[in-house]
Amino acid sequence: MTSRAAWRASVLTLFPEMFPGPLAVSLVGKALAGGIWSLDAHGIRTQATDRHRTVDDTPAGGGAGMVLKADVLARAIDAVADEKSPEPRPKLLMSPRGTPLTQARVAQLAAGPGVIVVCGRFEGVDQRVIEARALEEISIGDFVLSGGEPAAFALIDACVRLLPGVLGAQESTQDESFSHGLLEYPHYTRPAEFEGRAIPPVLTSGDHARIAAWRRAEAERLTRERRPDLWAAYHPKPPQKG
């Protein structure tokens, strides 16, 4: 029985020198060096065919900024796509207008063969290549970055840490924020008192049932206070009788 191939991330960017960057350090970096996953960064500009290696043009209909050209980006995607593979990798475009990235989607991506990540720049990407290459647009938050590279770092890091063998204790992912629809409960460690603030006594009681109940209650409180959207999904109100 052969082992599963390493999880593979291919990044398409105008700045391949940005990678691996932060993905080369800490647990994710150790996993990269250990062959648990692999990373290859490809310069989109290498697929330009004119003497100036042009990758963008003015937006049709006018307006500010520039737009990544469909033909150049399509060639870049085709150069790394593995559509003939029994399990082709999903093609993702980091975009502020994309579907919000969730822990559930991260888990799905981590369970697959890897990802192809397109990092947008300028005002955006020609819509035709998004449709022609079936790019899944993903956002990491309601804000705009100068390019998709920081978002790609976040997505890949989130996926890699879920791969078997990356974290020392795999169970540490089970109670994290979003794993069960709630934010994570507060954490404490020594010293027992810090600037007049003590560790909650229940955490040093040795009563595991009480500790579990306290953690669940705190997770629910934080979610209710900070993320009413998550709380509404986790604890939906019963339908009102008419």
Residue 99 is given by DSSP the state E
Q: Are 49 and 57 in contact (CB under 8 A)?
A: no
Q: What integer pLDDT is reported at residue 168 of this predicted model?
A: 76
According to the model, what pLDDT value does residue 2 have? 39
pLDDT of residue 1: 35
Q: How far is Cα 159 from Cα 152, in angstroms, rounded to an integer?
A: 11
- CATH, range 175-234: 1.10.1270.20
Give residue 241's pLDDT: 65
For β-strands 56-57 and 67-68, DSSP reports them as antiparallel
Q: Would you identify the CATH topology of the domain 7-160? A: Alpha/beta knot (3.40.1280)
Distance from C-alpha of 232 to C-alpha of 235, rounded to nearest angstrom = 5
The closest of 88, 121, 102, 95 to 159, measured between CA atoms, is: 102
Cα–Cα distance between 173 and 168 in angstroms, integer? 10
Give residue-wise pLDDT tens across range 5-26.
Answer: 799 999 999 999 999 999 999 9
Low-confidence ranges of the chain (pLDDT < 70): 1-4, 169-177, 179, 237, 239-242
Query: Domain locations in the chain?
Result: 7-160, 175-234
- Residue whose structure tokens are 């770092």: 153
The whole-number pLDDT of residue 150 equals: 98
CA dist 138 → 80, 181, 186, 188, 229 (Å): 19, 20, 29, 34, 19
pLDDT, one tens digit per residue, over 179-212 is 688 999 999 999 999 999 999 999 999 999 999 9
pLDDT at 125: 97
Q: Give the per-residue pLDDT at 177.
A: 64
Residue count (the chain): 242
| pTM of structure | 0.91
Q: Which helix (H) or strand (E) holds 32?
A: helix 26-33
